[in-house]
Amino acid sequence: VESANARQALAMQARVLESMAEGVCVFRESGSILFTNPAFDQMFGAERGRLLGTNIADLKDAPADEARRRYASAVAEARRSNCWEGDQRQRNCRGEVFYTHTRITPIQLDQEWCYVSVQEDISEKHRADEALHALNQDLRDRVQEMTTLLDVLPVGIGIATDGTADN
């Protein structure tokens, strides 16, 4: 009975991982990927199993030395505080750049430190934030132009808001 319950619990856990919308991977301290769920593979444009053995740092959209430095920093923070969280610029297998919000948590598997990475694709939010930033900058520029224009206008000019001008 106990082993049947354990098998049932394992099957349920596997089903949860397989059906998650977030990408999940487990990797060694060296960075070598041990496990990915289907959402992670899809996010990175990879067929099932293709990313196994790949170094997690190689998925970053950054030069190799910078990607490995960022990886080492995130892993060190995860070990120190039991979690690292942040936004990352990634590159999928098709060469397309996208953004994720990532949480990395350390776990011990067979007396080896490994890490669980849960990633949510935030590319749409990132694009919306960039568009909003551009609109805000455009508005600041226009306000500055209007301020400059008002500073050079002769004294005594009125601006009518109701179709009539006050003298």
- Residue 51: what pLDDT? 97
Which residues contact residue 94 at a Cβ distance below 8 angstroms, ignoring those fewer than 6 apart?
Answer: 45
- Alpha carbon distance 17, 42 (integer Å): 14
Judge residue 71's burial from the number of C-beta atoms within 10 Å of its C-beta, 0-12 exposed, 13-18 middle, 19 or more buried: buried
- Residue 3: what pLDDT? 87
3-state DSSP call for residue 69? helix
Q: What is the pLDDT along the chain (167 residues), one digit of tens a residue?
A: 788 888 898 898 889 989 899 999 999 999 999 999 999 999 999 999 999 999 999 999 999 899 999 999 999 999 999 999 999 999 999 999 999 999 999 999 989 999 999 999 998 876 767 767 777 887 787 888 877 777 777 666 566 677 665 55
Residue type, 127: R
- Residue 58: what pLDDT? 92
Name the token pair of 72: 């080492």
